[in-house]
Amino acid sequence: MLAIPVPGTPLVNFSSLSTCHMDQKWLPQLKFLGSYTVPKVDVQIGAAFQSIPGIELMANYAAINSDLARPVPEGGLGRLPTGAVSAQATTTVSLIQPGSLYGDRFNQIDLRIGKVLRFGRTRSVVGVDLYNILNSATISGASSAYFTWLAPSAIVAPRLTKVSLTVDF
């Protein structure tokens, strides 16, 4: 039995068998992409959609080895953790089962509209691209440390527009 000492909270006990087995969750991804040129008016239309699972959420605690090495009746291991060389160092302990918590799904729609212009033997395309139309601010990175748990370290890029001109001659 491993007891995780967290100051000011009761001890949490995990048996070695309950943390040994891990069932992998099914995390489906959906991605669609399509484009079409309207023949009579020479307008290009394109869209992309993706729906991907959120990030895996983890919670880690840097336990001081001297707390973990307390006697067994006091909820400790009775020895230093495996691989520890100093009682003053820390050992990272996972507070939640890996693969058990995930963030929000990320859904994104990108759109492209372009007009084909022909001048003699020259062909040009004036286009507008719209990225992240839903303006989702889904977290793509978060802290797993005990005192800063779930503090965002990265989010998805905001809504973005790009205007382009392509000339073929």
One-character DSSP codes across 11-50: -EEE-HHHHH--PPPP---EEEEEEEEETTTTEEEEEEEE
- Residue that has been written with the tokens 């991804």 in this structure: 29
pTM of the shown model: 0.68
The neighbour count for residue 45, using CB atoms within 10 Å, is 13
Residue-level pLDDT at 16: 54
Residue-level pLDDT at 138: 86
Residue-level pLDDT at 9: 47
- Residue that has been written with the tokens 């099914």 in this structure: 26
Low-confidence ranges of the chain (pLDDT < 50): 1-3, 9-12
